[in-house]
Chain A
Amino acid sequence: MKAILLALVVLAVLIIIACGIWVGVALISAIMPVRKPKPPPKT
């Protein structure tokens, strides 16, 4: 029981960090969008 309580709190910490990384990735792709290379002209 005691260990489970602390384990749940550590899990919550990991969830917050994961959310931070997820939003961070979305932020980077919003401010620095990757430009798709133009397709070569058809000959």
Chain B
Amino acid sequence: MNVVLSWAAVSVYVLVLAFVAIRARAAREYEDFSVAKRALPLALIFGSLAADYVGPGFSLGFVGRGFNSGFLFLFVGLAYAVQNILVGLLVAPKLRELKDCYTLGDAMGQKYGRKCQILAGLISVGLCTLFSAVMISAGSVVLNDIFGLPRWLSVSVVAVVTASYTTFGGLRASVITDAFHFVLFALLLPAIFLYALLFHFEGGAASFFQQASTATTDGFKSASAIQIVSFVAAFLLGETLIPPYANLALASKTARISRNGFILAGLFSSVWFTVMVSLGIVARTVVAKDTHEDYVLLSLVNSIMPHVGYALLLVALVSIVLSSLDSLLNAGAVVFTQDILRRFAKLPDTVALKSGRYSTIIIAGIAAAAAVFVPSVIKGLLFCYTIWAPAILPALIIGLWIKQPRPLAGLLSMITGTLVALLFELPFLLKTQVPAILPALACSLTAYLLGHWAEGFYKRRPFSVVLRRMKRK
């Protein structure tokens, strides 16, 4: 009976998803495929941004953290809200105002030239593929839990389902399915919280306060200062303006919608973390104390709700993984076409659209093959975050704000940021427990300043002039 209900829940979900994806329409032009004709309204930008980040980490992970360390992680999570709000205030509207800009690489190209665009494109495509592999791996783990499918089959199901609607629908289909997934999650998890609070949590407000303060005190005692700094750094910088978010900034109807979408998503994240951490606190009176933190939410739902509720939660988890994955696949495909292929050949829009579609399939295939080797979801995500911020952010943000950015500065910053971040993944440097993102970011900034100064120096005193002067003497 339980298996029948689980299958029924999954079937209904797949049918509704198929209906939504079909209604989203196939993209007929490259402008539609890559930036949804720059016509997305505020609610869809907000919903898609929120659906992208409310993944398993920000739901399962935060419930587990709330269970073990109370509101400590809420303070860490606020760094993420601050990051989104800062992007909304300082970067997203500036990006949206650039003309003929389809990707972050385009922005880099307009500011620093062709070489920087290609380099930014290579880094972006590489990271989108890695991120996709991590997401496919996460989705396959949940499918394994539900149906006990073999790994290769669950990986294939996740990759094929997502690639199929992203290939035809492009960004618009991705955003619309994201919105659908967001609605599912935004209604289901608060309902679980209210159900647990009203029917299974004993002691009311006084007991909640007691559990929260005990857990938070335990959390502060068990976490070292360097651990807290690492988490804050990862939340503040790790996911900043990764390609799918940048695409949303570029696809919004106006610069104002782009700004407000990021600000609202930032504010929403703090509200979301509050509820997830509180769900973990409520679980302290229901779930066994030695439960692994990744399984607190699943154990809570399994013990208090009917089996179909558990199946629905698992389906919602798969859906939220798909919503992150479709955005990554679309972003990777658009970046590959725009920043790499179009830099070497003049592609008309119809050819670019075809190339975007084929790239989606190829990236999904490579990511699915890599997904089998991803050791852990969190480790994979942290690796991607560590590279992204130092490689791209300093050059991008400074480039958007200063009047005449210099190509050498952008190039040096991107190369140095990537190499230092990779260096800190070596075992002997990993042992130091220093969050790699911080030294890599510092080196990237220093390289930028050096490059800026060196190019300025060269321009002011070109060697030709110096040589001429020497000849005269």
Interface string of A9-41 (1 = CB under 8 A from B): 110111111011111111100111000000000
User: Which of B125-133, B136-144, B180-188 is the interface stretch?
Assistant: B180-188
Most chain A beta-carbon neighbours within 10 Å: one of B189, B206, B275: B275
Residues of A contacting B23 in the complex (Cβ-Cβ under 8 angstroms): 31-32
Interface string of B201-231 (1 = CB under 8 A from A): 0001110110010000000000000000000
Query: For chains A and B in complex, what number of residue pairs have CB atoms within 8 angstroms?
Result: 89
* Chain B interface, >50% SS class: helix
User: In the complex, what's the smallest C-beta–C-beta distance from A2 to chain B, in angstroms?
Assistant: 4
User: In the complex, what's the smallest C-beta–C-beta distance from B262 to chain A, in angstroms?
Assistant: 15
**Interface flag for B278 (CB, 8 Å):** yes
**Contact check: which of A2, A15, A19, A31 meets B205 at CB < 8 Å?**
A2
Determine if B47 and A26 form an interchain contact, defined as CB atoms under 8 angstroms apart: yes
**Interface flag for B44 (CB, 8 Å):** yes
CA distance A9 to B183 in the complex (A): 20
CA distance A19 to B43 in the complex (A): 9
**Interface flag for B245 (CB, 8 Å):** no
Residues of B contacting A20 in the complex (Cβ-Cβ under 8 angstroms): 182-183, 185-187, 190
* Chain A interface, >50% SS class: helix
CA distance A23 to B44 in the complex (A): 7
Residues of B contacting A31 in the complex (Cβ-Cβ under 8 angstroms): 20, 23-24, 176
**Interface flag for B3 (CB, 8 Å):** no
**Contact check: which of B43, B50, B212, B274 meets A26 at CB < 8 Å?**
B43
User: In the complex, what's the smallest C-beta–C-beta distance from A7 to chain B, in angstroms?
Assistant: 8
Determine if B275 and A5 form an interchain contact, defined as CB atoms under 8 angstroms apart: no
Residues of A contacting B353 in the complex (Cβ-Cβ under 8 angstroms): none
State the B residues within 8 Å of A (CB): 20, 23-24, 41, 43-44, 46-47, 50, 176, 179-180, 182-183, 185-187, 189-190, 193-194, 197, 204-206, 208-209, 212, 268, 271-272, 274-275, 278
**Contact check: which of A5, A16, A26, A32 meets B209 at CB < 8 Å?**
A5
Residues of A contacting B209 in the complex (Cβ-Cβ under 8 angstroms): 1-2, 5-6
Please list 11 pairs of residues, one from A and one from B, whose beta carbons are closer than 8 Å in the complex, sorted by A's number.
A5-B205, A5-B208, A10-B197, A16-B272, A17-B190, A19-B186, A23-B182, A26-B41, A27-B180, A30-B176, A31-B24
Determine if A8 and B187 form an interchain contact, defined as CB atoms under 8 angstroms apart: no
CA distance A8 to B212 in the complex (A): 13
Determine if A16 and B176 form an interchain contact, defined as CB atoms under 8 angstroms apart: no
Residues of B contacting A32 in the complex (Cβ-Cβ under 8 angstroms): 23
CA distance A23 to B275 in the complex (A): 19
Residues of B contacting A24 in the complex (Cβ-Cβ under 8 angstroms): 179, 183
Closest to B19 in A: A31
With contacts A5-B208, A19-B50 taken as known, whether A25 is within 8 angstroms of B186 at the C-beta atoms is: no
Residues of A contacting B41 in the complex (Cβ-Cβ under 8 angstroms): 26, 30
CA distance A26 to B51 in the complex (A): 15
Closest to B41 in A: A26
Determine if B208 and A26 form an interchain contact, defined as CB atoms under 8 angstroms apart: no
With contacts A3-B205, A16-B275 taken as known, whether A27 is within 8 angstroms of B193 at the C-beta atoms is: no
